[in-house]
Structure 1
């Protein structure tokens, strides 16, 4: 076993801040990397060391493997945590980290490679007792083959890119006359997004739910699952609201899904924290979708219902320690919800918004957790994902967690950019969500921008918050422009640890 003394976080924003905090509690020094655009970001301020790795564009900074490895050498970091996004599921990055003699806080390059391809993942788990969606196990070569397969499994079908995720390269086809056009679009989008135009066909599960299982595995062959997360509230195939546990999963179903998830992990000899995603039909039958070989955005809800710090567990596993708990030690305690606070306009097809955070006040109080990496006065730029923060609430049961989330949304004050908070409040108050019956089609079936506009118009609390934000902004404008500032003592320390 090798102890980690100093860890570099190859990421930015809220996940970098979150990793820094857990590492600090373990007595581990931290190194932040930052682009020119993130020079004054909180994750840079919080870390023990900070290294500039390039211009604002991700390709020249957060995706720049040589610069990140150079930052490790410069600061003598002995481990790298990739967070999520950017290089977190890049097998080549993991391989080069290991070749440099640096500990990679994550799975092996081979596991990342296997699970990074949906077709390779299906092939790997096919020998294990894991239910798979009916479909192909290899790329589709041409339109004729696609039509034959679609007729066999029956419409509707889903054309999916083998590489990547986030909904890119995915097309639902309801009839044969749509197949050629949708297949061409899927191939084109997959090629553009991932450099790999390989696509395959699966049966499309109608009225689907998206439920995932959090797993951990160590270097000694031990595995455990930390129950499920409900992730069915989505827009553009990307999650907006998550919760744990799911309102529709029974104890028997939970155990079956958990064991299936562990078998997926065994199929690639997985080490670290990972997530196995399933699609669940209206008959409550579940099928393996894919495995995310990293920490998930929504991991806080699992932490709250289990009491496990997943980042600390990742670090312990990377050091070679066995799991700090067994399956029998884990129980579900209470209920947790997470809403992703995106800088997007939900009244305009969720288009990303940019601007300066003129007002930024987080909610507080019992059962409220905010994971963010921004401050009032900072810019929301075009260079990175528009997620501002993750707002998480915890309660003794689902009803209390929802009530706390509605209260927290009401307390959250953000001005300068549009956010998804009004949409999240709309969802949480909708009878379909409250019932737990909702599916991934919720936005298509129940949400219209005018509904949200009507709700906002009639909501006195929203008006009061908006007025308060306006008054605060006017007061600030009468004094001086908002800029992130540090104390003189911080600035003196800053200069001693900063690497340009």
Structure 2
């Protein structure tokens, strides 16, 4: 019998353990029932262990990197997730077509679907995850809390009553909320990701919160069931990574702090938590292991706790019966490959280490780079990623599933672009490394939260490790778009000037008129604003733009080294269609050259028309043509990128057109409603 060891960096060595063999069917080909960076992450570890891999993809993901990385790729249906990545039949058909004997669900989609896990088992496949019974035990928050209370795991006081109409009526929930006392959290009993979740501080907000959470939960998870929990103000979201094998061994791998959240979704995660010492870690770890044992867990799982502001009391929130998005920070401080561990446990091996063997080294912080506009209430974005250059450097890891350029960020799926992770000997070293990595990260063509992430990481409270779940609401309640400074506008103007000169076959260094060097006007439009610049060439790669002298010192494809007013800086740019995309420091900027375009449409169109902010699906129409509506009144609700977007009237008006109905798929900028503003 050969026991598995560890190499010098703590990663799992190849090797095999005879103990437990025969408990599962042998397999040599794994189908990954997921997409993007998730599929890429699983494929790399599986191939390193010597397994063949099969990718699946929707029509929207044809040619995506995860399909090229796998040994084989199979199309499973249209872009809409319900017809592809969420279709159990489509996945199982792909398994049969590929000859795979094992399925890894990744994280998200069907990874916590007990019906999928059971279907895989019934089909004679190895499901690389927990048994269906464990998923079912934790799949409903109400049932899970009841189970944890029985197991004596500390739980947040609340109401997790029956799913019957009598146990879920408005009156019952209102009554139970009053008993708990405000503030209270209203949560969907099924699902996660912050959907169907509302924080209620005022009595007047309670009934609308219950009704909207119920509606969102039913649309998202197919179940309107809700639970109520006492809101722990100024608490921390701390989760414990657990791992179990099929031989009764259960350990934990320390904690992750995921307190920095927006819309109840994580933005920055780190391990270990700045608020957790060795004693508290042991207590929380013991509770997490007890939770896993109580449901007969096998594989990787995460037990989420809310740590009270006093730093001592903690309460069970839920258990994620899958690998978490943020698992890389645990990998970086433990030296373990958690996906490799998942596969080996699924193959029947024992865990290669005991609780006493777990060692935490240094600190790791992960930032989620999203396609979203923080200054527009974090509205998800979709469109073409014109240029993608992930950062590199000591202690830096980037998990993504993207081509270098020309890839579309689809409105059908989650808007996360990549995870950028930094490891250091200390928390401060990891924080500094992550800041530099984000500064060097290039994601052009679509709005992202890159600048917002940098602001979070540089904030004094984050640097001091004092973040709670209210960190973003307290310090970034209304993130503001960073105004384009003069240098950024001037660089954009000279790039447009050079492009125009090249299009005419001219050398921009020699733009002369009869009276000397020619200063050419350039009118830029960026968002709703316009900026006029005068660009005058001073010689080869030297310009005066307005009152600023700019020299291009080096060109390397899209990379520029510039000197502006004596200071050198780096910029990255890309032209796409009629737009220029430019990155300078923490700013990502897009503009058009409208110097010779006709005047824009008359102002006020935004008040008269409601248009789709992205591709999506209409889930509710709340008005009718000819109806008089008030400013702020909801007219249409659309669902896109795992969120519901409420389209409201911007002025008192009469609805002239309402050309959409429930179930319609709409494209970006498609007209949803036309209004005739009421005369004052």
Per the normalisation by structure 2, the TM-score is 0.67
User: For 2:373 and 2:160, how far apart are their aligned partners in 1?
Assistant: 39
Report SS of the residue matched to 1:178. Answer: helix
Q: Does 1:52 align with 2:153?
A: no
- The counterpart of 2:388, out of the listed 360, 371, 377, is 360
Cα separation, 2, equivalents of 1:277 and 1:466: 43
Checking the alignment, whether the CA contact within 8 Å between 2:138 and 2:318 is kept in structure 1 is: yes
Q: 2: distance between equivalents of 1:70 and 1:459?
A: 56
Q: Partner residue of 2:346?
A: 318
Say yes or no: does 1:19 pair with 2:47: no
Once residues 266 and 348 of structure 2 are traced to their aligned partners in structure 1, the CA distance between those partners, rounded to angstroms, is: 33
Pair 1:161-2:149 in alignment: no
- Give the structure, 1 or 2, with the largest relative contact order (CA under 8 Å, sep 6 or more): 1
**Correspondences of 1:70-469 after superposition (within 5 Å):** 70-139=93-162, 140-284=167-311, 285-375=313-403, 376-449=405-478, 451=480, 453=482, 457=485
CA contact (8 A) 1:157 1:172 kept: yes
Q: How far is the alpha carbon of 1:467 from its aligned partner?
A: 6.8
Q: Is the 8 A contact 2:141 2:227 kept in 1?
A: no
Moved more, 161-170 or 389-398: 161-170
The structure-2 alpha-carbon separation of the partners of 1:205 and 1:51, relative to structure 1 and needing over 3 Å to count, comes to: same
Distance between the aligned counterparts of 2:127 and 2:576, measured in 1? Answer: 48
- CA shift digits 1:125-173 (9 cap, x unpaired): 1122310111123144334433433333322111211111111222222
Distance 2:288 2:485 in 1: 45
- Offset at residue 317 of structure 1 (A): 0.8
8 Å Cα contact 2:362/2:426 also seen in 1: yes
Q: Secondary structure at the match of 1:126?
A: helix
1:309 CA drift (Å)? 0.5
- TM-superposed CA distance for 1:470, in Å, is 7.8
Stretch moving more, 6-15 or 196-205 = 196-205
Report the Cα distance in structure 2 between the residues aligned to 1:450 and 1:107, rounded to whole angstroms.
40
Change (3 A) 1:414 1:137: closer
Q: Residues 470 and 192 of structure 1: is their aligned pair in 2 closer, same or farther, counting only changes over 3 Å? A: same
> 1:425 & 1:336 partners in 2: Cα distance?
16
Q: 1:369: Cα distance to partner? A: 0.4
User: Aligned-pair distance for 1:187?
Assistant: 1.7
Residues 249 and 193 from structure 1, CA distance in 2 versus in 1: closer, same or farther, beyond 3 angstroms?
same
Please, which moves more after superposition, 135-144 or 191-200? 135-144
Unaligned stretches of 5+ residues in structure 1: 478-500
CA distance 1:172–1:474, change in 2 (3 Å): closer
Please state how far the C-alpha of 1:392 moved relative to its aligned partner: 0.6
CA distance in structure 1 between the aligned counterparts of 2:364 and 2:226, rounded to whole angstroms: 36
SS of the aligned residue for 2:574 comes to helix
Distance 1:169 1:451, change over 3 A: closer
Instruction: Mark the CA change 1:34 to 1:147 in structure 2 (over 3 Å): closer, same or farther.
Output: closer
Residue 473 (structure 1) aligns with: 574
| More strand as a share of residues | 2
* Counterparts of 2:559 and 2:156, CA distance in 1: 47
Deviating more after overlay: 388-397 vs 201-210 = 201-210
Question: Does the aligned pair in 2 maintain the 1:422–1:452 contact within 8 Å?
Answer: no
* Cα displacement (A) at 1:445: 0.9
Q: Which runs of 4+ in 1 moved over 4 A?
A: 448-452, 456-460, 463-472, 474-477
Alpha-carbon distance in 1 for matches of 2:156, 2:149: 11
How far is 1:416 from its partner?
0.2
Distance of 1:99 and 1:277 partners within structure 2: 30
1:459–1:77 distance in 2 versus 1, CA, 3 Å: farther
SS of 2:376's partner is: coil
May I ask how many residue pairs the two structures share in their alignment?
Answer: 474
Does residue 37 of structure 1 match 2:34? no
Corresponding position of 1:491: none
In structure 1, the residue matched to 2:617 is none
Higher helix share goes to which structure?
1
Q: 1:141 to 1:410 in 2, by over 3 A?
A: closer
Structure 1-normalised TM-score? 0.91
Return the alpha-carbon distance in structure 1 between the equivalents of residues 62 and 457 of structure 2. 36
Alpha carbons 1:147, 1:176 under 8 Å: kept: no
- How far off is 1:77 after superposition? 0.4
2: CA distance between counterparts of 1:288 and 1:101? 34
CA contact (8 A) 1:426 1:452 kept: no
User: Which digits, 9 at most, give the CA deviation of each residue in 1:391-448, with x for residues without a partner?
Assistant: 0110001000001001101111111011111111000000111111111112211115
Give 2:84's aligned residue.
61
Task: Structure 2: state its 5+ residue gaps.
Answer: 1-20, 493-557, 562-569, 579-680
C-alpha spacing 1:145/1:383, structure 2 compared with 1 (3 Å): closer
1:370 positional shift: 0.6
Superposed displacement of residue 180, structure 1 = 2.4
Per the TM alignment, residue 31 of structure 1 is displaced from its structure 2 partner at its CA by 0.4
Larger radius of gyration: 2
